[in-house]
Structure 1
Amino acid sequence: MTSSTADVPGIAPVLAEVVRSGFVEGRHRGSLVVLAADGSVELALGDPAAPVFPRSANKPMQAAAVLRAGLDVLSGERLALAAASHSGEPFHLDLVRKMLAGFELPESALQTPPDLPLDPVEAERYLAEGQVRDRITMNCSGKHTAMLAACRLRGWDRATYLAPDHPLQRLVLESVESAAGEKVAAVGTDGCGAPLMAISLTGLARAFRAFVLADPASPEGRVAAAMRAHPEYVAGTRRPDTWLMRAVPGALSKMGAEAVQAVALPDGRALAFKIEDGAGRALGPVLARTLGLMGVTDPVLARIGEAGLMGGAERVGEIRAAF
């Protein structure tokens, strides 16, 4: 570990450096934890015991709650989409529309904020076609569709399905706490409007570990299987979560906004980290480095860790892991 990442009380260590023309022009600090196969902490940087908002890394637990509510018909691509931060590619939007129609739900029932596709390539294409921000295009629309369908099944109020005291959201809280092995420290509001439960990074890693080791017939096991079998529906064709789950058999991977990442390997090893300043550009290098330290050797790590900096039309630097 370099001097820039040395432990200083109250200051998170540097996890990534921004290097331009050989000069370190910026640093991204954060906290990180790696769990061994038996669940013990193998590596801890920063303060992984402190609560964070996992953002969309909580989505597997939200999808498990929908199954617990009784929506057993969800499986395959549909269940993967319920746990997704989808890119807004045509196949994502087509399936959301099919799910809404199948559950006899109008698009107007979605309470996601109107948005563009998450993937920049898709956003440019979408705008070039003359389309505008839409609720269905927002990356959480699959999750919201599943939540609405569960409410319809149980006869719960659909107008208030995002209220923290709604029966469905109480199930989500129970699912998060059960998987993480700790109490939720705070409840906020996510970017999509859904309740957001804060847990520690260690708890987040434990949750992903619980999902990959779960009974295949359990809600957790079913969600993990769907995500691993259909990673394009969890993320998109140009996204690291998809690349990793396609390349490393049995891996379960999910990013969250504000630079959160969680991964579990099929033997129960797991990682979770958050970049303190929320810089998503540091996710790939930190993820690739951590997986490398865990013994993953697949060539996909080079693809995930690639984060070049441009000067004019030439590459002049990179964002690199600093631990």
Structure 2
Amino acid sequence: MESVLVKEYRADIMECAHHGHISIVNERGEVTASAGDPDFVTFTRSAAKPLQAIAAIRGGIASRFGLSGKEIAIMTASHVAEPEHVEVLESFMQKTGLSETELICAPSYPLNERSKEDVLRHDGSKRRLYHNCSGKHLGVLAYCKMKGYPLEGYADPEHPVQKEIIETVSMMCGIKAEQIVLGTDGCGFPVFGLPLSAMASAYVKLACPDLIADEATREAVTIITQAMNRHPEMVGGSGRLDSLVLQDSNIIAKGGFKGVYCFGLKKERLGIAFKVLDGSEEEWGLIVQAILEQTGYANLSLIRQMKEDFTHDIYNDAGKKVGYADTVFQLRFTQP
């Protein structure tokens, strides 16, 4: 049974109720707190991007092509095609010798409104590079090029690099590869249907690489997560939750489309994954705030900043306050 996570009020009448599930696991993958069903199965969407980057970094593309920290971070990104994002993506292509035409993600406009307006004023052209998943695609293409794999069909689940990615996701989540439900993501890549508890288990390992037995994978995860913390602006962009919480070096976080959000806490050695069932992302900031508060998170300055950037107040188009949102779930703590 799902839990009500957030209620929204206008003129003191409840207008919306956002239902969902939350799963929190410890370093052994045991559920220690939850709301709703901690094993609810859903698709990872872009929350899998740090996991999907492991194969290429483990394989050595960073040293082979001389990638910077920003270029590694953009591989994990759901970027909004701000100028710095585009600059880093173009540098990535130049270093690897890849062409934008080799990307299978659809030509898009920037998700950042100012960047989109600039494009429309300039020539109005969509680009594959503007797609929020283009960094992930470039990373996989670079790995294919280094390994001598065919670039054509690089997003096919049967392609060698995708098979390696699936095996890596399996290992990180602590679930057999054949138990992962494969779908197709919006960008054309395979997407993974997993229990929230398995996603949370993967994020414990992202936050605490010492839990990973394989040395090469452990080193790759360390490189990826350090890049995410050092260059949080690359992972999301202006006003994005990912870019705010990644400023805290104790947190590794990444959201995905249709209401999925995952993060790991290093010192606390916890992994958290949740799903807003109606697919909304507007409530992410409120839910993360409440989880941090209910688990006694020590960085109160981050929580205060989140309250400012992701307010409970609801405003109309003219900027007038017309309502408020209230996080109503209470985590159930268990003793595994």
TM-score between the two structures when normalised by the length of structure 1: 0.91
* Cα drift, residue 72 of structure 1: 3.5
Partner of 1:104: 97
Query: Is 2:61 the partner of 1:71?
Result: yes
Query: Is 2:321 the partner of 1:315?
Result: yes
Report the Cα distance in structure 2 between the residues aligned to 1:167 and 1:240, rounded to whole angstroms: 33
* Cα drift, residue 128 of structure 1: 3.4
Partner of 2:270: 269
1:157 and 1:312, CA in 2 relative to 1: closer, same or farther beyond 3 A?
A: closer
Root mean square deviation, CA, Å: 1.8
Query: Is 2:248 the partner of 1:253?
Result: no
Report the Cα distance in structure 2 between the residues aligned to 1:312 and 1:256, rounded to whole angstroms: 26
The aligned amino acid for 2:327 is A
* Cα drift, residue 249 of structure 1: 2.5
The aligned amino acid for 2:147 is R
Partner of 1:114: 107
* Cα drift, residue 38 of structure 1: 5.6
Do the aligned partners of 1:208 and 1:252 also contact (CA within 8 Å) in 2? yes
The aligned amino acid for 2:142 is A
Secondary structure at the aligned position of 1:280 is classed as coil
Query: Is 2:309 the partner of 1:301?
Result: no
After superposition, give the CA deviation of every residue in 1:200-235 in whole Å (9 maximum; x if it has no partner).
Answer: 111111111101111496111211111111111111
1:320 and 1:180, CA in 2 relative to 1: closer, same or farther beyond 3 A?
A: same
Structure 1 residue ranges without an equivalent (≥5): 1-10
Do the aligned partners of 1:69 and 1:171 also contact (CA within 8 Å) in 2? no
Equivalence map 1:146-157=2 (5 Å): 146-157=139-150
After superposition, give the CA deviation of every residue in 1:271-292 in whole Å (9 maximum; x if it has no partner).
Answer: 1101011011121211111121
Equivalence map 1:164-183=2 (5 Å): 164-183=157-176
Secondary structure at the aligned position of 1:158 is classed as coil
| Identity of matched residues, % | 31
Equivalence map 1:2-41=2 (5 Å): 11-36=1-26, 39-41=29-31
* Cα drift, residue 114 of structure 1: 1.1
Secondary structure at the aligned position of 1:30 is classed as strand
* Cα drift, residue 69 of structure 1: 3.4
Which of the residues 34, 56, 61 maps onto 2:51?
61
Report the Cα distance in structure 1 between the residues aligned to 2:309 and 2:291, rounded to whole angstroms: 11
Do the aligned partners of 1:287 and 1:305 also contact (CA within 8 Å) in 2? no
Report the Cα distance in structure 1 between the residues aligned to 2:199 and 2:227, rounded to whole angstroms: 19
1:321 and 1:129, CA in 2 relative to 1: closer, same or farther beyond 3 A?
A: farther
Partner of 1:282: 283
* Cα drift, residue 320 of structure 1: 2.6
Do the aligned partners of 2:24 and 2:38 also contact (CA within 8 Å) in 1? no
Equivalence map 1:126-275=2 (5 Å): 126-183=119-176, 184-215=179-210, 218-246=219-247, 248-267=248-267, 268-275=269-276
* Cα drift, residue 23 of structure 1: 1.2
Report the Cα distance in structure 2 between the residues aligned to 1:274 and 1:124, rounded to whole angstroms: 32
How many aligned residue pairs are there? 312
After superposition, give the CA deviation of every residue in 1:4-23 in whole Å (9 maximum; x if it has no partner).
Answer: xxxxxxx4111111111211
After superposition, give the CA deviation of every residue in 1:233-254 in whole Å (9 maximum; x if it has no partner).
Answer: 11113211111111x2321110
TM-score between the two structures when normalised by the length of structure 2: 0.88
Report the Cα distance in structure 1 between the residues aligned to 2:181 and 2:306, rounded to whole angstroms: 34
Do the aligned partners of 1:82 and 1:142 also contact (CA within 8 Å) in 2? yes
The aligned amino acid for 1:231 is P
1:232 and 1:257, CA in 2 relative to 1: closer, same or farther beyond 3 A?
A: same
Report the Cα distance in structure 2 between the residues aligned to 1:169 and 1:312, rounded to whole angstroms: 44
1:104 and 1:261, CA in 2 relative to 1: closer, same or farther beyond 3 A?
A: same
* Cα drift, residue 171 of structure 1: 0.9
Do the aligned partners of 1:17 and 1:319 also contact (CA within 8 Å) in 2? yes
Which stretches of structure 1, 4 residues or longer, exceed 6 Å deviation after superposition?
A: none
